[in-house]
Amino acid sequence: MVERRKFQRRKRAEETPEDPPILPLERREERLARRQADREAEEARAQQIRTEQIRAEQARADQHRAEMETARRQLAATRARATAPRPKPERPEHSAAPRAETVRPARVQKTAAPAPMPEDSVPGPSPRTSAPRPGALWDRLPVFEIDSGHLDRNRIITASREDPAHAAFDVLRTRLTQALAENGWTRVGITSPSKGCGKTFTAANLAISLSRQEGLRALLMDLDLRNPSLHKVMGVRAPGAMGALLRGVVSPEAHLMRMGENHIHAGHNIAFGFNEVVEPYAAELLNAPATAEVITAIEAQLKPDVMLFDLPPALYYDDVLAFRPQIDGVLMVVGGGLTTEREIREVERRLGTETPLLGMVLNKAEGTNLKKYQY
C-alpha cells in the first residue's frame, strides 16, 4: 500500500509542469524595451504610410484641378467659336435641275457678281478654277444599292408610298424647307426625349421624301454615336466609322454615300453619312473643334440645302447639348403613349432659347389621346 502511494506521488510529480523560472529584473526590462521599440517602429511605419497616402491624394487633387482648368479653357474657346457668326457658304444654282423658288431665295440674292477684269490684265486661271466644283464632288460620292423590300420591312413608308401615312412626311418636308429658307438655315438636328420614339425612323423617311424635292440637295448623317442604326435601316453593310470622318482621318467623299438607281423613284440628290462603330466618348467627339471644322467643310464642299443629323435622345447623356452649337434648329420626335409633357418641357429647357424648336413629330399615335401633347 505504501509503495502504491509512493508511485502515485511520483507520477503526479512527473505530470505537473515546473513553474517558469523567475526572470531577473534586467531581462524583464530588456524585454519591455524591445516591445516598446517594436511598437514605436510600427507606429512610425503607419505614420509614413499615411503621409505617403496624403501626398498621393494631394497630387491627384492637383492633377484633377489642372485638368479641370484645361477643360474649362477649352470649353470657353469652343463656346467663343460657336457664338461667333458662322459664315454661310454661297450656293450657286445646281446645273442638274432648276431650283424651286421657295427654296433659299435669300441665298441666291446674296450671290455676288464676279468683279470685272481690267483690260490690260493677262487672262489666267483664277483661284476658284482649281477648287473642286460642288457638283463634281457630289457626283464622285460612292453609291449604294436600294432594296425596296428591305426598306418596307424597316417601315420606310416613303419608299413605296403604299402606306397613306407617307403623306405626313411630305407635309413635314415642305414645311421644314420653307422654314429653313425663310431663316437662311441649313442644319437640323433630329432627336427625341427618350429612346423608342422613332427618331431614326423619322429621319430616314424624311430623307427619302427630301430626295424627291426638285432642285434640292440634302444630307443625312448618323450622329447617334452610342447606338448607330441608320445603316441597318437603309440596308448598308460595313459603312465605316463616323468617328474617322469627324476626326478628319477620312475625307467626306471617302465616307459619304448617295443612293444609286432604284425602283422607288427616289432622287439622287440625297447623301448619307452612316456609322457602324460605337464611340464611348461620343459627347467629347461631338463637342470637339475638329468636328465643327469637318461639318463646316462638308457644307462648304457639297453645299447641301438641308443637313439632317440623327442625334441620340436628348435626355440621355449630353451628346445633344455638346452638338447644339453646330445646328440651326431641332425637330423633336415624341412617342405616343411614351413621351410625357414633362419630358418635352425638359428637352426645351436644355435646348434653351438659342436653339429653336422647329417642330414636334408625334409618332406611334394610334389610339393615343392627342390632348396629352397639346400645351
φ and ψ at residue 162, rounded to 5 degrees = -80, -30
Q: Is the pLDDT of residue 365 over 80?
A: no
Element (H, E) at 243: helix 242-246
pLDDT at residue number 191: 96
Instruction: Looking at mean pLDDT, say which of 150-154, 256-260, 266-270, 290-294 comes out highest.
Output: 290-294
- Measured between alpha carbons, how far is 194 from 280 in angstroms, rounded to an integer? 19
Provide the β-strand partners of residue 191.
332
3-state SS, residue 326: helix
pLDDT at residue number 19: 54
The structure's pTM equals 0.64
- Measured between alpha carbons, how far is 25 from 13 in angstroms, rounded to an integer? 29
Per-residue pLDDT reduced to its tens digit, 7-52 = 777 777 666 555 555 556 777 788 888 888 888 888 888 888 888 8
Provide the β-strand partners of residue 190.
310, 331
Query: Is residue 334 within 8 Å of 362, Cβ to Cβ?
Result: yes
What rounded mean pLDDT belongs to the chain?
80
Least confident of 107-111, 130-134, 289-293, 330-334: 107-111
Q: Is the pLDDT of residue 111 over 50?
A: no
Least confident of 226-240, 251-265, 359-373: 359-373
Per-residue pLDDT reduced to its tens digit, 53-85 = 888 878 877 776 776 677 667 666 665 665 565
pLDDT at residue number 134: 58
Hey, how many other C-beta atoms are within 10 angstroms of the C-beta on 267?
20
- Measured between alpha carbons, how far is 143 from 101 in angstroms, rounded to an integer? 29
Express as a percent the part of the chain with pLDDT over 70: 75
- What CATH number was assigned to the domain covering residues 134-373? 3.40.50.300
Instruction: Looking at mean pLDDT, say which of 99-108, 127-136, 283-292 comes out highest.
Output: 283-292
3-state SS, residue 340: coil
